[in-house]
Amino acid sequence: MSDEPPLMPSSDPAQPKAAPRISIAAVWSLVFGVSSFCLWLFGSVPALILGTIALVKINASQGRLEGKGLAIAGLVTGGVGVIAGLFSMAFLAGLMMPILNKVQGEAKLTRQMTDMKVLMIACRIYAGGHDGNFPDELKDLYPDHIDDESQLMTRG
């Protein structure tokens, strides 16, 4: 065994410090932020979360981590991605409203036409059993010829 003291890390200020590393969270924040324009929430949410985590870790690292600009860029692109996605959804909803109104109008018309067919058939069946005479009032068709009394009411 040797009598030499064990090697201790030198506290010599002339010795170079380890180079700071770039925060992986900051890099991924930017990657997700840029992808948020195509993936919307699947890119924006991770970009915002990772950007925030990266900034917290970089600020607490006392210079051992870099990438503050990347983290901020990830936060900005993620935020812009969220806003762009919301505007896109609002725009699409605006485009869909006339189509939805048209479909609802056609459904209402179809329902009214079906009710009229049921009434016509019920009147013919009634006439078949009453020497060819139609009922004096539509309520005479219920319950013998029409099961649902609401079909006798007019709908608005």
Mean pLDDT for back-to-back runs of 10 residues, the chain (156 residues): 50 67 96 92 95 96 94 97 93 94 95 89 90 88 79 59
Residue 11 inside a domain? The answer is no
CA distances from 115 to 25, 27, 68, 89 (A): 63, 64, 68, 38
Give pLDDT, residue 2.
47
Give pLDDT, residue 14.
59
Cα distance between residue 58 and residue 65, in whole Å: 5
Residue 120 inside a domain? The answer is no
Residue 29 inside a domain? The answer is yes
Cα distance between residue 51 and residue 59, in whole Å: 12
Residue 81 inside a domain? The answer is yes
Give pLDDT, residue 140.
84
Total count of domains within the chain? 1
Residue 143 inside a domain? The answer is no
Residues in the chain: 156
Give pLDDT, residue 18.
76
Identify the domain containing residue 82 by its residue range: 21-97
Give pLDDT, residue 41.
87
Give pLDDT, residue 30.
96
Give pLDDT, residue 79.
96
Residue 146 inside a domain? The answer is no
Give pLDDT, residue 1.
46
Residue 36 inside a domain? The answer is yes
Residue 105 inside a domain? The answer is no
pTM greater than 0.85 (yes/no):
no
